[in-house]
Structure formats: C-alpha cells, structure tokens
Amino acid sequence: MVARRAARAILRDDDEADDAVQEGMLAAWRAIARYDPERPFRPWLMRIVVNAALDARRRSRVRQAEPIAETLESGGLGPDRMAEAALLRVRLDEGLASLPERQRIALVLFDAEGWGHADIAAALGVPEGTVRSYVFHARRAMRKVLGVLAEGMK
Amino acid sequence: MTESPFDAEPDAELGRLLRERLTGAEPEAFLRRLRRVVAATPAGDQWDVLAGWARPRVMAMAVAAGFILWLGVWFASDRMSGDAEPAVQVASLPAHTVVMPQVARQPEFVTAVMEGQ
C-alpha cells in the first residue's frame, strides 16, 4: 500500500504511520466534495496523507522514534547471508534517516512505487525540477550508505 | 543499485529494497481497519463547499445592504434639513438594487438614488 509505505518512510514508526494514514484517509474522505475531478486523484490523496504524516512527525518530534520492525525477508538464507541482510536493514534505515523528509518521500514514490516526477510534484506541491533534485540527492546518499551491500543482495 | 543517480527511470533494486523495508505487517488487516473507519465516517457533503463559497458573498451582501441603508439615511437627513419631503429614501430604490448578490455597482446605485430624488 503506497500511502502506508510513504507514511512509514516519513515517520519510521509502524503505529504512528498507520495512524497517520488513517487520519489522512479520513481527512480526504471528509473533503471529497472539494476534490476537483479534472485533476489526478492519486497525487491529491497522497498529498493529504503526506501532510498528515508530516503533522504527526512534528507532533512526535520530542519522542524518540522506534526503529521499523524487521520486515526484510531473509527466508532461506545461510548465517552469513542473514547477517548481511541484517546489516543491509541497518544501513537502509540509516540511509533513510539521513535524508530530509521530502527527499525520502520523493525517493520512495519514484523508486519503490514507480511514480512519475509530475505526480510526485503534485503530491508534494513542488515543481518537477525540485522532485528531480530530491531524487538525485536521495539516491546519491543511499548509494553512499548502501554501496557494496546492495550489490551483494542481488 | 543503478550506477548513476541521474537516471530518469526508477531503480529496480533500490525500489525492491525500499518496498521490502517499508511494507508494514498485515496489510490486509490494515486495509480492513481503514475501510471500517471510513465507512463509519460521513463524507463531507456539498453543503460544506457551498458554505465556504457563500460566506464571502453573504459578507458582501451585508456590506452592500449596510452601505445602501447608510446612504438612504444620509440622503433622508439631508432632505429633512432642507424641505419637508418624505424622508425614507431607501423605500424608493428599485428592489434589485437591494437584493443584488454582489456589492452594488456604484453608477447603478447613484442613478437609482438620483431617480428617487
């Protein structure tokens, strides 16, 4: 679920992310009469969810975010590969944590969800060029953090 | 991972890693929870939109009505100080001047007042 992954990328806490998605979906539902059918629905909805997640992030900034639960599959791997996978998870978390929120969202929507620059720009309320810059910087940072590890996972 | 961060295409490997890392547990249960909550919440209806749209218009109408009333009283008091003609000028205004849904246009309003004189 795209909205849930985007919220998790922002909040890095399962429960908070789920609450934010729920809050965003309800806000969208209540505001559905204000939706302009001439414009694409997906970025409109994502914008509301992202804003809900950013609000939740601001509210919880004083609290220490708990790490994301272990969801990266390691089934069928030997001890060495499992250790490598665990290290990859840590690096992935570090990489995501090092990115500014909007870069993180742009990266997730572009690389993980396959959204186009235009849709991401509409969802974030920024020009397309800014989205390209976000993705560029986010990828560069992630490559630096993941480097050889990501190659090893192939 | 893709060698160049300039690539305009999604990076399949990085995308896979991100999806695996960010996909929450029990997505079906979460979807059920969402559907339940949304179904129990009434959707915002057209009245919300109309209310938001109408508020400035109502304000404009109130300002216009206040202005017309004030001008009427002003003309009336002016008349009272001169000769003894009927004082309530507002009553002689054409009805559309009073109930127009936007601020009265000045020339139309002045014409109406002058005709009243």
Secondary structure (3-state) at B24: coil
Residue of A nearest to B28 (CA): A1
Give the domain extent around B20: 1-41
Whether the CB-CB separation of A44 and A11 falls below 8 Å is answered with: no
Contact check, Cβ <8 Å, A112/B18: yes
Whole-model pTM?
0.62
Distance from C-alpha of B10 to C-alpha of A116, rounded to nearest angstrom: 9
Closest residue by Cα to residue A2 from A103, A120, A100: A120
B53 and B106 both lie in a single domain:
yes
pLDDT band, very low/low/confident/very high, at A145 (cuts 50, 70, 90): confident
- Domain coordinates of chain A in residue numbers? 1-66, 76-154
Distance from C-alpha of B49 to C-alpha of B47, rounded to nearest angstrom: 5
pLDDT at residue A43, as a whole number: 92
B27 and B54 both lie in a single domain:
no
A68 touches chain B (CB under 8 A): yes
A76-154 maps to CATH 1.10.10.10: yes
Q: A92 vs B68, which has greater pLDDT?
A: A92
Name chain B contacts of A14, Cβ cutoff 8 Å. Answer: 24-25
B25 and B79 both lie in a single domain:
no
From A30, A137, A142, residue closest to B43, measured CB to CB: A30
Contact check, Cβ <8 Å, B18/A107: yes
pLDDT at residue A89, as a whole number: 85
pLDDT at residue A99, as a whole number: 92
Contact check, Cβ <8 Å, A18/B24: yes
B34 touches chain A (CB under 8 A): yes
ipTM over 0.85: no
pLDDT band, very low/low/confident/very high, at A73 (cuts 50, 70, 90): low
B50 and B103 both lie in a single domain:
yes
- Half-sphere CA count of B108, side-chain side, radius 13 A: 11
Closest residue by Cα to residue A72 from A84, A54, A59: A84
Which two tokens mark A92?
Answer: 């992935």
Contact check, Cβ <8 Å, A17/B44: no
Q: At what angle do helices A41-59 and A117-124 cross, to 10 degrees?
A: 50
B82 touches chain A (CB under 8 A): no
The total of other beta-carbon atoms located within 10 Å of residue B43's CB is: 12
Q: What is the rounded average pLDDT of the residues A104-110?
A: 93
Q: If residue A57 lies in a helix (H) or strand (E), which one and from where to where?
A: helix A41-59
Asked if residue B8 has pLDDT above 90, the reply is: no
Whether the CB-CB separation of A65 and B78 falls below 8 Å is answered with: no
Per-residue DSSP letters for B40-67?
A: TSPPP-HHHHHHHHHHHHHHHHHHHHHH
Q: A98-107, A145-154, B86-95: lowest mean pLDDT where?
A: B86-95
B67 and B29 both lie in a single domain:
no
pLDDT band, very low/low/confident/very high, at A154 (cuts 50, 70, 90): very low
pLDDT at residue A63, as a whole number: 56
Q: What is the rounded average pLDDT of the residues A64-76?
A: 54
B104 and B55 both lie in a single domain:
yes
Q: How many domains does chain B have?
A: 2
Q: What is the per-residue pLDDT across B79-94, written as a single tens digit (0 to 9) for each?
A: 666 555 555 555 555 5
Residue of B nearest to A104 (CA): B18
B83 and B29 both lie in a single domain:
no
Asked if residue A103 has pLDDT above 90, the reply is: yes
Secondary structure (3-state) at A73: coil
The total of other beta-carbon atoms located within 10 Å of residue A20's CB is: 29
Chain mean position to CA A46: 11
Q: What is the per-residue pLDDT across A26-47, written as a single tens digit (0 to 9) for each?
A: 888 888 888 888 888 999 999 9
Distance from C-alpha of B32 to C-alpha of A2, rounded to nearest angstrom: 16
